[in-house]
Structure 1
Amino acid sequence: MNIQSICVYCGSSFGNQTVYAEAARSLAGALAARNIGLVYGGGNVGLMGVIANEMLRLGGEVTGVIPQALMDKEVGHKGLTHIHVVKDMHERKAMMAALSDGFIALPGGIGTLEELFEMLTWSQLDFHQKPIGVLNVEGFYAGLICFLQNLVDTGFVKAEQAALMMHEDNADALLQRLQTWVPQKSTKLRDALAAQALFP
């Protein structure tokens, strides 16, 4: 795929291990080396600030999208290439998705997971055809990967839908997978209708 910008979801905290910040810097370096721009939540705190500052240090393009309420709390980054201040979280997520050719989740909290799963949901419904991955830093996403397999095993998610969430523990390997990903036509709605006929 021709990827010019990647949306990165990540924590507004640093986590309790330095390896998370190191992974954010590593991803910034991999993006900058490929001349891929960063789209992110516009913050200057936690891993958000780490990846943005490293991208800027390397001369990369960084676009932030942040709600006015968070900008007012002075957590917005003032030195980005582009900054979009929007009215709420819904507009933020929609704009970040529109500006990006793919999505990566670094370690983060509930907000990071919510953003990741919204993009996975949109993908399985065929609302977008953009690659999605998680950087599995020190096994951070191992439990989530296992839970997705459980969803497959229990019949709530098809294997090809679970496979939409690519995962690697190395930034270069993950970007390589995103760049070579080939979208498949979603069968989610068709399968749901077929199941409805079997279980009215």
Structure 2
Amino acid sequence: MKNIDLVYGGGNIGLMGLISQTVFDGGRHVLGYFIPKVLMAKERKADMSLHSDAFIAMPRSYGTLEELFEIITLAQLGIYNKPVILLNINVYYNSLLSFIDQVVEEGFIKQNAQHIIVSASKAKELIENLKDYYPCYEEIALKLNWNSEQLRHSQINEIPT
């Protein structure tokens, strides 16, 4: 577990506070993006994804789930091709994983898109998954040029007049 830096949402209490302090005390870089203003949320997420090598969701609440599904959606579109890992401590995410299995079974998510999410029950397993990760999003979405100018232009064109 050497040479692993941390980019995260910036909270300094609870589990993330403990993890960030441990990483920092271990001599690694810790970059916290804590921007409390609602208007800056999208910029914060985009910046975090640019500076990270993986997205790891630990047992948390609505904010984590919202960010998790946004990253999964970006991966499905071919915009984000880094590991998306659920740290499934004490089977916390089992119900969510079962739900995703059901949605795939019913045909709402393609079978190969199901592999965007990797689950690990322990930190050591998570590290191994990071080492062995290979994006497998073929046929999910075409690789498009997702620069911000094109996105702004396409959004402007889609506004009804």
Deviation at 1:138, TM superposition (A): 0.3
Q: Which residue of 1 aligns with 2:40?
A: 88
| Number of corresponding residues | 142
Tell me which protein shows more strand as a share of its residues.
1
With normalisation by structure 1, the TM-score equals: 0.66
Question: Structure 2 regions of 5+ residues with no counterpart?
Answer: 143-161
What are structure 1's unaligned runs of at least 5 residues?
A: 1-32, 71-86, 191-200
Secondary structure in 1 aligned to 2:34?
Answer: strand
| Aligned equivalents of 1:150, 1:97: Cα separation in 2 | 28
Shift of 1:35: 0.6
Report the residue type matching 2:132 in the other structure: T
TM-score, normalised via structure 2 length: 0.82
Runs of 4+ in 1 over 2 A off after TM superposition: none
Alignment RMSD, CA only? 1.7
| More RCO (CA 8 Å, sep 6+) | 1
- 1:69 Cα deviation (Å)? 3.7
Residue 165 (1) aligns with residue 117 (2): yes
The aligned residue for residue 175 of structure 1 is: 127
Aligned to 1:67, what secondary structure does the other structure show? coil
What is the CA-CA distance between 1:68 and the residue it aligns to? 4.7
Distance in 2 between the 1:162 and 1:156 partners?
Answer: 11
Equivalent-residue separation in structure 1 for 2:12 and 2:55 (angstroms): 20
Match of 1:44 in 2: 12
Paired residue for 1:154, among 106, 110, 130? 106
Q: Which residue does the alignment assign to 2:94?
A: 142
How far apart in 2 are the matches of 1:169 and 1:39?
Answer: 21
Aligned residues of 2:87 and 2:120 also touching (Cα < 8 A): yes
CA distance in 1 between counterparts of 2:137 and 2:37 reads 38
Aligned AA for 1:177? N
Which stretch of the first structure deviates more once superposed, 121-130 or 59-68? 59-68
In 2, Cα distance between equivalents of 1:151 and 1:184:
19
% identical equivalent positions:
38
How far apart, in 2, do the equivalents of 1:64 and 1:132 lie?
19
Q: Which residue of 2 aligns with 1:61?
A: 29
